Amino acid sequence: MKHAITHTTHYRYSLPVNYTIQLLRMTPRQDAHQRVLKWRIDTPGDLQPLLDAFGNVTHTLTLTEPHDAIHLKVSGQVDVQPLHDGQIRNEDSRLPVAAFCVPTRLTQSDDSIRAFCADSTPNGVQRPADVLTLAQTIQARVAYVPGTTDVTTMASEVLQQGRGVCQDHTHLFLACAHSLGLPARYVSGYLYTEAEHAASHAWCDIWLDGHGWISVDVTNGQFASDRHCRLAVARDYDSASPVRGVRTGGGVESMDVKVHVDVIAQ
């Protein structure tokens, strides 16, 4: 499936900003099943490219002149091939799989998560079918309700509240995987769908012996497919988000994000 993607982010500030540095993870990965046909990044300053430790294409944007707005735009086309039961094959990984067993503040498990995971998958997670069962159990337990959480909400809070969005579903799945001693990672990217949570999206990969990485969309209760375009993989939202940065000055910040994903006829 060939995706045509446009993603714009517009920051506005109530006071002038003296200095901004941003790390952009806004270029799709070059994985075995995913090929970037063309891609363009438009920013108000020069970019320094870097392939990070997770194998993500990143760019650093630095602005040293006073400014009261930042406009970022990426656009292009990506060809994504179908996946069988979400299996990611022939990945050129830069880190050992064990690196994804380490939980973060957002993906830390506790007694409630361990109990939930034991009830959901009493025989553990050993096959792709088990991965789907855990994802669908989380989907049923945590309703998709925008505005009830934010990017600092931890997995244990998501389970307790029973509400959240794609990043929350993903963090809870990762916490469950860590509680079972299984490597798992956060995926940020784009989703082609007509559902209300289309376009910008998050899902996860889990490593199973004998199967490798299995990619699953917890929010939609299904394996990732050729509808999913991968931007970055990392341990959680903080390390995989499309834009992270710091600034000096600026007062109050407002942000407007628009994402459009369409399919190009073959």
**In terms of DSSP H, where are the helices of 30-76?**
none
Sign of the Cα torsion 51, 75, 246, 232 reads negative
- Can you give the pLDDT at residue 193? 81
Q: Which CATH architecture has domain 81-239?
A: Roll (3.10)
Q: What is the mean pLDDT of residues 110-123?
A: 94
- Residue 265, burial from CB neighbour count under 10 angstroms (0-12, 13-18, 19+): exposed
- Give me the mean pLDDT over the 169-195 stretch: 94
Longest dimension (CA), the chain: 58
CB atoms under 10 Å from CB of 63, counted, come to: 19
pLDDT of residue 198: 57
Range list of H helices, the chain: 111-120, 128-141, 155-161, 166-179, 237-240
Spatial CA neighbour of 75 closest among 25, 41, 49, 24: 41
The pLDDT of residue 197: 53
Average pLDDT over the chain, rounded to whole?
A: 94
- pLDDT for 265 equals 76
Length of the chain (residues): 266
**Measured CA distances, 203 to 9, 172, 191 (Å):** 21, 11, 10
d(CA 235, CA 254): 27
Q: Give the model's pLDDT for residue 89.
A: 86
Q: Which segments of the chain belong to CATH 3.10.620.30?
A: 81-239
| pLDDT tens column, 80-108 | 999 999 999 877 677 899 999 999 999 99
> Which amino acid is residue 232, in one-letter code?
A
What per-residue confidence (pLDDT) applies to 252? Answer: 94
Read off the pLDDT of each residue in 165-183 and give the average, rounded to a whole number. Answer: 97
Q: What are phi and psi of 118, to 5 degrees?
A: -65, -40
Mean pLDDT of the 239-258 span: 94
The pLDDT value recorded for residue 82 is: 95
Segments of the chain assigned to CATH 2.60.40.2250 = 2-79+242-264
Name the amino acid, one letter, at 113: I
pLDDT, residue 155, reads 97
Q: Is the pTM of this model over 0.85?
A: yes
pLDDT given at position 194: 73
Top pLDDT among 206 and 193 is at 206
* Cα-Cα-Cα-Cα dihedral sign, residues 97, 101, 103, 108: positive
CATH architecture of 2-79+242-264: Sandwich (2.60)
Confidence of residue 127 (pLDDT cuts 50, 70, 90): very high
- Determine the pLDDT at residue 266: 65
Mean pLDDT of 3-30: 96
Tell me what pLDDT residue 237 has: 96
Average pLDDT of span 56-71: 96
**pLDDT above 70 (res 196):** no
